[in-house]
Amino acid sequence: MQPPVIPTAQRCLNHGDREGAARCPECENVFCRECVTEHDGRMICRGCLETLSQVVEKPRKEWLRNAGGWLAACIGLLLVWFVFFVLGDILVSIPSSFHEGLVVK
């Protein structure tokens, strides 16, 4: 059984004259301090970080997002129309004697 390899005993993959400081958990290569960066609590090399950072674009449902906006606008207009309709109905139901000043003196 071989003893575990100490990362500092190995050399950086990109800079052969520098000691290895960390092993990338993705590609399992050893890199110096300048070649790795901390990402989500892990030390990852630049190449693996670029791979992990690439966003997989899902097909967007723009029509659904736009339909939601149009639906909200229509519901809002319908609500405003209903409020004014009820307010107008209340005003029409007030007897004309109230408007002529016969009720309130």
d(CA 28, CA 71): 52
Residue 54 has a pLDDT of: 81
DSSP code per residue over 34-97:
TTEEEETTEEEEHHHHHHHH---PPPP-HHHHHHHHHHHHHHHHHHHHHHHHHHHHHHHHS-HH
Q: What is the pTM of this model?
A: 0.44
Per-residue pLDDT reduced to its tens digit, 34-62: 989 888 888 899 888 888 888 777 776 77
C-alpha 1, offset from chain centre: 49
| Number of domains within the chain | 2
Does 14 fall in a domain? yes
Per-residue pLDDT reduced to its tens digit, 81-93: 999 999 999 999 9
Question: By C-alpha distance, which of 27, 26, 9 is closest to 18?
Answer: 9
Does 37 fall in a domain? yes
Does residue 38 share a domain with residue 75?
Answer: no
Instruction: Quote the domain boundaries for residue 36.
Output: 7-53
Extract the tokens encoding 104: 């309130």
Q: How confident is the model at residue 6 (pLDDT cuts 50, 70, 90)?
A: low
Does 1 fall in a domain? no
Give the DSSP letter of residue 103.
S
